[in-house]
């Protein structure tokens, strides 16, 4: 009778692969290193993956999917806004951005491998597809904000989305290369302030200014991560 497959093997192999990739980089990582880290055989590895590149792509895809869910939650939260004050709208935006950038920080090492030339254009292509999706979501949020009177009515939503999403993309790329975790609240307040002052109506700018001043006055702990 054949032995039943280990239902946890795939997750163990992915966890082992992640450790090996972070320690050795994609180019120098070996399947033997991954299976040793997972406590499994090479045969088990090839039951689940064609090669180490496929395992890396799955790890990266998982990180991007987690980020995608957080970004989608920002759009889903629009339904709550009719009941909120402008200050609550801004505070919710800041809190969601903090969740997104905490997630980027958590996955920074994998992201950094891709940005530093992770061995295949397929990985960069995944990141670019994610960036395009994030820009489209940003455009929908800007259109929503214009309809609600948060943003100026003379904006070109597509151009504004390119400006906002591009700025956030560069901020994320800087974050994954940081060796120590920065004060994400201060980082994001700086980024959001630029967006609000460029796009916002006066009453929305004032609400954001109030929220940011209050948040910056709160004691915060900066972890090394």
Mean pLDDT lowest for which of 14-18, 44-48, 51-55, 216-220?
A: 216-220
pTM: 0.85
Domains of the chain (ranges plus CATH)? 1-49 (1.10.10.60), 57-217 (1.10.357.10)
Which one, of 188, 197, 189, 191, lies nearest residue 152 by Cα?
A: 197
* Partners of 9 in beta bridges: none
| Residue with tokens 């980020």, as numbered in its chain | 67
Residue/partner pairs of 69-76 with CB below 8 Å, 24 or more apart: 70/96, 70/99, 70/100, 70/103, 71/100, 71/133, 71/134, 71/137, 72/137, 73/99, 74/137, 74/141, 75/137, 75/140, 75/141
CB 12 within 8 A of CB 39: yes
Tell me if 196 sits within 8 A of 204, measured CB to CB.
yes
Higher pLDDT, residue 170 or 119: 170
Across the range 148-176, mean pLDDT stands at: 94
CA R_g for the chain: 21
The C-alpha atoms of residue 88 and residue 103 are separated, in whole angstroms, by: 23
Structure-derived torsion over alpha carbons of residues 25, 110, 193, 82, reported in degrees to the nearest 10: 180
pLDDT tier at 46, thresholds 50, 70, 90: very high
Distance of CA 19 to the CA centre of its chain: 20
More confident: 29 or 209: 209
Choice between 5 and 181, residue whose per-residue pLDDT is larger: 181
What pLDDT was estimated at residue 121?
A: 65
């Amino acid at each position: 009778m054949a032995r039943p497959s280990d239902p946890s093997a795939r997750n163990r192999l992915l966890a082992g692969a992640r450790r090996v990739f972070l320690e050795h980089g994609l180019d120098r990582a070996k399947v033997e290193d991954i299976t040793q880290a997972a406590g499994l055989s090479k045969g088990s590895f090839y039951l689940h993956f064609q090669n180490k590149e496929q395992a890396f792509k799955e790890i990266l895809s998982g990180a991007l999917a987690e980020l995608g869910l957080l970004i989608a939650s920002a759009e889903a939260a629009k339904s709550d806004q009719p009941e909120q004050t402008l200050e609550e709208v801004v505070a919710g935006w800041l809190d969601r951005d903090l969740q997104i950038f905490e997630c980027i920080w958590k996955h920074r090492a994998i992201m950094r491998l891709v940005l530093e030339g992770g061995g295949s254009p397929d990985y960069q292509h995944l990141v670019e597809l994610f960036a395009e999706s994030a820009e489209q979501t940003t455009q929908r949020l800007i259109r929503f904000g214009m309809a609600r009177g948060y943003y100026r009515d003379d904006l070109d939503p597509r151009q504004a989305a390119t400006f906002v999403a591009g700025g956030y993309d560069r901020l994320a790329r800087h974050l994954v290369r940081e060796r120590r975790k920065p004060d994400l609240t201060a980082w994001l307040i700086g980024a959001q302030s630029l967006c609000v002052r460029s796009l916002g109506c006066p009453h929305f700018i004032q609400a954001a200014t109030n929220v940011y001043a209050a948040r910056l006055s709160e004691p915060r702990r900066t972890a090394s991560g």
